[in-house]
Structure 1
Amino acid sequence: MNPFDLDKELREIGKVPQREVPDIIRRHQDEVYASLTNLPMSTRTNQQQRSTKKRRMVAVAAAVAMIAVISSAYVSPAVAESLKKIPLISSIFRLADDLGLQIAGERGLAAESNASVTHEGVTLRIPQVVYDGTRLSLAVKREGEGFTGRITDVEVINEGKGTSHRFQRGAITDVEMLIDGTSIHDLSLSDKPGLIGKPTSDPNVVMYELIGFSRLNHSPSIPDQFQLTAKISLEGIDAPYIFHIPVRKNTDQIIVSSGETREWNGLQISLEQLKFTPITTDLIMNLERLDKSGKLGDHNLLFEVWDDRGRELGRISGKGVYRDDRQQQQQLELIFDRFEVAPDSITIKPFLPVFQDPIANSGLYKVDSKGEVVKTYLKELEITIPVNHLGLDKLYDVQW
C-alpha cells in the first residue's frame, strides 16, 4: 500500500464514531491529518525525495499508532499526555519549507514555549522556539474568527511617488523583537541581527527568524541565553500582543577554519570559516578588490553552496560589512539550510546573475524558460574543501 492509499484509509478510519474521545486526543488527531497533507516534499534530488518519503512514512506510522489508541473505549490521562509530547506530531515546524527546522521539530530540538495572548477574541500563540546559536526560529499562530486573508497578507498601493499598505483584519502590521530588553533596531549596524518572516502552508501561521550574524571578531551578535520580547500588532486589534520568552541555545556546533583563496579579474575571495549546526550552515568569507578600480558591489557577485553529491543548499539570509570607506574590502556572512546528509566535501560556487538589461543594470534578472535566473558561474573563484564526514554525521545524528 503506498502512502497516499494509506492516507485515504486513515481518513476513513477517522470518520468512524468513537466513544468518549478526550478533547486533547481529538485535537492531535486533527493535527496528524494536517501533517499528512502539509508535510513538505522536496524535489531537488532523488536522494532528497527518498529521505522525505521516509519521514512521511514515519508520520503515517505515528498516525496509525495514535488512531489505534483513539479507537479504544478509554484513553488514560498518562497516554494522552504522552501523545501530546510526540515531537513529530505536535511540532509546528512541520509547516516550514526548511529542512533544518523540520528536523528540529522531529528530533525534539524545539523548546515548548506555549506562550499565548488574547485581545478582542483573537489569540496569538508562539508554541515553540528553536535556537542553534546562529538563528532563532519561532512560529506565530493566529486563532479566532472573521479573518478574510492570511496572517501575512498585505496590499501595496502605489500613490504617486510613494506607497502605502492596506491590511485585512487580523493581518500582522508590525513586529518588534527585543533581546534582554534592547530592541534589535537600537543595536549598531555591525551587531544588528536580521529579522525575516516566512509564510507557511497554513494561512494562520507565520515563521519568524532572528539571524545572529557574527561580529568582525566572530563573536555572535545574539547571546547563547537571553530573554526574548516579541511585540506583534494585528490590523483591527487595538492592543499589541507582547510575549516574554526565555531562549537558550540547545544544539552543538562544528567550526571549520579555512584560508582557501581565489582570484579573478581583480577580485579576491577567501573562505575564512564554516560553522555547522544540526539546523544551519553558516559561511564567512572575505572579499577584496585588488585592482582598486571600483567597489565590490559593482560585481553583483552571489554564491551557492553544493555538496559532493550535487545537492544545493537552500539559502536563508546573508549580510556584508565593509571594512573600509572605499567599499573595496568586505566580510560576507551567508546563512544556509543544513545538508540532507553529511557530505565528504562542499563546494562554494560564485556566480554573476545575468540582467535583462546588462548596460543599465536595472536590477531585473534574466530568467530562462523554467523561470530560473540565468547565471554566469565563475570557475576561477570556485572553492572546494573537505569536511569531517564522521564528525558532521554525529552532529546531525539523523535517524530515519
Structure 2
Amino acid sequence: MKNVYKVLSSAALAGMLLGGIAWGSIDTAAEAKGAASTDTSKSNASNKVSSTQSGITINAANAMYDGNYLRVELKSTGKKLDKKLIEKIEFFEILVDGKSIYEYGGGSIAKRPTLGLSPGPDADIVYLTSSDASWLGGNQEAYPDKFKLTIKITLEGVKDPYTMEMPIQKSAEQPVVMKQEQTKKSGNLSMSLKQVRATSASTRLQWVLSGKDKEMMHDLMYDFVDDQGRELEVLDGKGTDENNANGDYYFDYIIKALDPDAKSITIKPFTPEMEDPNATSGAFKLDSNGEIIKNYNKDLEMTISVK
C-alpha cells in the first residue's frame, strides 16, 4: 500500500497516539472493530444525548460542525472512573446517516474520514473529532450539510457498548474562501497551495506535493504560525498519494481559528530528526526542552494573507 499518514501537533507527535488509533511510521494504522448498540436515550430539545451502562453515563453534547471538521464533547457521569475517560475508551466509531466512516471509499484509509479523540479540560471530558476526505484528491465523499450522527463507544471494564444518536447541522456561518494559489520549489519537489477555507472555528488548507523526491514527500511535516509568530494548533492533518494517478501527495490540514488581529498564516515544512539517525521510523530526537528537533525547509515555506 502506498503511504497514508496522519500528522499531529508537536505535542501529540511525541506519543504518536490519537484517539486509540496509532499512526506510526506512516504505512500502517490500527483498525477498529464494530460494536453493537444498547440502552440509548436522548434529549432532542437540547441536542444532548446520553447512554448508561453499569452505572456510568456517557453524555454527548456541544456538537459543532463548520464544514471543515466535526467536534462533539463527551463527558462521563455517575460511577467514578478509575482513570481518565480518554484512557478508558477502548473503541469508538461514528456513523453518518447510518453509514460507518470505515465504509467510506470501500474501506480505503485514503478515502475515508478521520476520527480522533483529544483530552478535555478535566479527566471526565474528551472531544471526539472527525473530518471528511473530500480534500484528499479525486472525488472523495464529503459530509452532508445535515445528517444523523451515531456515536459508538466501548469502555474498558464495561461489558456493553454505548450508542448515542444526535442530529448535526452545518453552521449557518458563511466560510471565507481564499483564492491564493501559489507554488514553491525545493530541488525536485514542488509544493502547490490549492484551497484555503476559514470559519470562526477553524481554517482548512489543501496543498499538493509533486516531483521526483518521493523520500522528502514522505518525510515532511508541518508547523503553522501567524504573522505575530504564534504557533497555530493543528486540529486535524492528513495526506495521501493514493487518490491520483500521478503519485502526487494531497494534504488536508485543519488548524484552530486565528486570533482577530492575525494578518497571515505561514506553513512551515520541516523534517524531524530521528533518535537513530539511520532510521526511517521510530522515535524522534528531542532537544533539552523535550521538543522535537526540526529542520525547516525555507524554500517550501508559504505565507497566506488572511486580511
Normalised to the residue count of structure 1, the TM-score between the two structures is 0.60
Counterpart pick for 2:157 among 232, 236, 260: 236
User: Within the alignment, does 1:226 sit opposite 2:120 as a pair?
Assistant: no
Within 5 Å, which residues of 2 pair with 1:110-189?
A: 112-153=46-87, 171-188=88-105, 189=108
* Structure 1 SS opposite 2:102: helix
Change (3 A) 1:362 1:242: closer
1:146 & 1:276 partners in 2: Cα distance?
Answer: 39
Unaligned runs of 5+ in 2: 1-44
1:240 & 1:259 partners in 2: Cα distance?
Answer: 46
Look up the match of 1:86: none
Could you tell me which amino acid in structure 1 is paired with residue 191 of structure 2? Answer: I
Within 5 Å, which residues of 2 pair with 1:2-21?
A: none
User: Within the alignment, does 1:364 sit opposite 2:283 as a pair?
Assistant: yes
Distance apart, 1:363 and its partner CA: 3.0
Distance apart, 1:205 and its partner CA: 1.4
Change (3 A) 1:228 1:294: closer
Distance apart, 1:327 and its partner CA: 7.4
Look up the match of 1:334: 253
Task: Tell me, yes or no, if the aligned pair for 2:94 and 2:151 is still in contact at 8 Å.
Answer: yes
Look up the match of 1:350: 269
Distance apart, 1:191 and its partner CA: 3.7
Within 5 Å, which residues of 2 pair with 1:78-93?
A: none
**Higher CA-based Rg:** 1
Distance apart, 1:369 and its partner CA: 1.2
Change (3 A) 1:354 1:184: same
1:131 & 1:314 partners in 2: Cα distance?
Answer: 18
Aligned residues: 258
Change (3 A) 1:117 1:274: same
Task: Tell me, yes or no, if the aligned pair for 1:295 and 1:327 is still in contact at 8 Å.
Answer: no
Task: Tell me, yes or no, if the aligned pair for 1:281 and 1:337 is still in contact at 8 Å.
Answer: yes
User: Within the alignment, does 1:199 sit opposite 2:116 as a pair?
Assistant: no
Distance apart, 1:353 and its partner CA: 1.2
User: Within the alignment, does 1:313 sit opposite 2:247 as a pair?
Assistant: no
1:173 & 1:308 partners in 2: Cα distance?
Answer: 40
Look up the match of 2:3: none
Task: Tell me, yes or no, if the aligned pair for 1:212 and 1:222 is still in contact at 8 Å.
Answer: yes
Q: What is the aligned-residue identity percentage? A: 33
User: Within the alignment, does 1:254 sit opposite 2:172 as a pair?
Assistant: no
1:310 & 1:279 partners in 2: Cα distance?
Answer: 20
Distance apart, 1:230 and its partner CA: 0.9
1:236 & 1:212 partners in 2: Cα distance?
Answer: 31
Distance apart, 1:219 and its partner CA: 7.1
Deviates more, 1:303-312 or 1:357-366: 357-366
Could you tell me which amino acid in structure 2 is paired with residue 372 of structure 1? Answer: E
Distance apart, 1:124 and its partner CA: 1.3
1:325 & 1:133 partners in 2: Cα distance?
Answer: 24
Counterpart pick for 1:208 among 117, 122, 128: 128
Distance apart, 1:220 and its partner CA: 6.2
* Structure 1 SS opposite 2:299: helix
Task: Tell me, yes or no, if the aligned pair for 2:269 and 2:300 is still in contact at 8 Å.
Answer: yes
Task: Tell me, yes or no, if the aligned pair for 1:274 and 1:284 is still in contact at 8 Å.
Answer: yes
Q: For each residue in 1:321-380, what CA deviation from the matched residue of structure 2 results, as whole angstroms up to 9, or x when unmatched? A: 215789741111111111122422222211111222222334322211111111111111
Could you tell me which amino acid in structure 1 is paired with residue 197 of structure 2? Answer: K
* Structure 2 SS opposite 1:186: helix
Runs of 4+ more than 6 Å apart: 324-327
Q: For each residue in 1:236-267, what CA deviation from the matched residue of structure 2 results, as whole angstroms up to 9, or x when unmatched? A: 33332211100001133111122211111211
Could you tell me which amino acid in structure 2 is paired with residue 229 of structure 1? Answer: T
Task: Tell me, yes or no, if the aligned pair for 2:48 and 2:166 is still in contact at 8 Å.
Answer: no
Could you tell me which amino acid in structure 1 is paired with residue 186 of structure 2? Answer: W
Q: For each residue in 1:266-297, what CA deviation from the matched residue of structure 2 results, as whole angstroms up to 9, or x when unmatched? A: 111011111111111111001012xx364554
